[in-house]
Amino acid sequence: MKRILVGIKRVVDYNVRVRVKPDGTGVMTEGVKMSINPFDEIALEEALRIKEKGGAEEVVVLSIGSADCQQQLRTALAMGADRALHVQTDATLEPLVVARIFRKLLEREQAFLCIVGKQAIDDDCNQVGQMIAALWDRPQAMFASKVEINGDKATVTREVDAGLEVIEIDLPAVISSDLRLNEPRYVKLPDIMKAKKKPLETIDPAALGVELKVSGKITKFEPPPQRTKGVMVKSAQELIDALKAKGVLA
C-alpha cells in the first residue's frame, strides 16, 4: 500500500498571546487554546491532496506527546487522515529523539513519503525533517512550496534565499512544508463525528526501542523585552544625532 506518514505537533494556538510562567519554568498552557502546528496542518493538507489525486492510498498522522495530543489527532482525522498514531509520553523530547521515533514508525508502516512542517511555532527548531531523512537514509526536500508526485519520483519547488529552486528526488523521501504550499481545508461537523470512529493507536515509546534521553536542559524561560516608545524626529540630522547618542552610529 502506498502510504504517507504526516507529523502532527500540539502547540499553543498561533492566535493566542504566549505568556511565561511567573517562576520561569515554561509557558502557561492552562486554559489556553491548543491546536495543530500550522506548518503541520499544511503538511497534512498536502498529503490529503496527493491521496485525492491518486498518488497515495492511505494517510497516517503521527503525534508524540502527552495524552492531550489525541485532541489534535482527532482534528487531523476529521480533516481526512485515515489513521492516527500517538506515541504517548510526558517527557520533553529533543528533535533527534523525535526523528528516531519517526524512523521506527516509517519502517513499520512502510511509508513511501514522510511530510512534516518545516518547523514548530513553539520552539522553531527546524531540525526534525532533516534528521528523519538522515536516519532513514533517504532524500529530502525542505521548505516546499509546491509538490508533484510522478511515479517513484517527486518534483519539489522549494523556497530559498535567492528565490525558488526546483529539484527532483527519488521516493521514498522526506518533505517539509512551507507556508505557501497550500491552504488547509476547513473541518466540518459531519467530518468531526466520523473522525471519532477512525482508528487511533496509542504506542509506548519503549515498544519502539527508542531511548528518551535528553542531552540538553532548558534552565529558564524569559519573555522578550518590552518595546520602547518610538520617538518622532523632524530631520535626517536629528535622526543621526539620536542614533549617535544611542551608540548605534559612530
87-116: pLDDT as tens digits: 999 888 889 999 999 999 999 999 999 999
Domain hosting residue 8, numbered range: 3-245
What pLDDT is attached to residue 158?
92
Spatial distance between the Cα atoms of 94 and 212, rounded to a whole number of angstroms: 9
Question: Is position 224 within any domain?
Answer: yes
| 250 within domain boundaries | no
Question: Does residue 140 sit within a domain?
Answer: yes
pLDDT bracket for residue 222 (50, 70, 90): confident
Average pLDDT score, the chain: 91
For 127-168, write each residue's pLDDT tens digit: 999 999 999 999 999 999 999 999 899 999 998 888 899 999
Position with higher pLDDT, 57 vs 122: 57
| Domain contains 24 | yes
Distance of CA 54 to the CA centre of its chain: 25
Domain count, the chain: 1
Provide the 3-class DSSP secondary structure of residue 225: coil
CA distances, 75 to each of 44, 72, 152, 194, 238 (Å): 11, 5, 30, 11, 55
CATH number at residue 125: 3.40.50.620
Flag whether 217 is in a domain: yes
The pTM score is 0.86
Residue 122 lies in a domain: yes
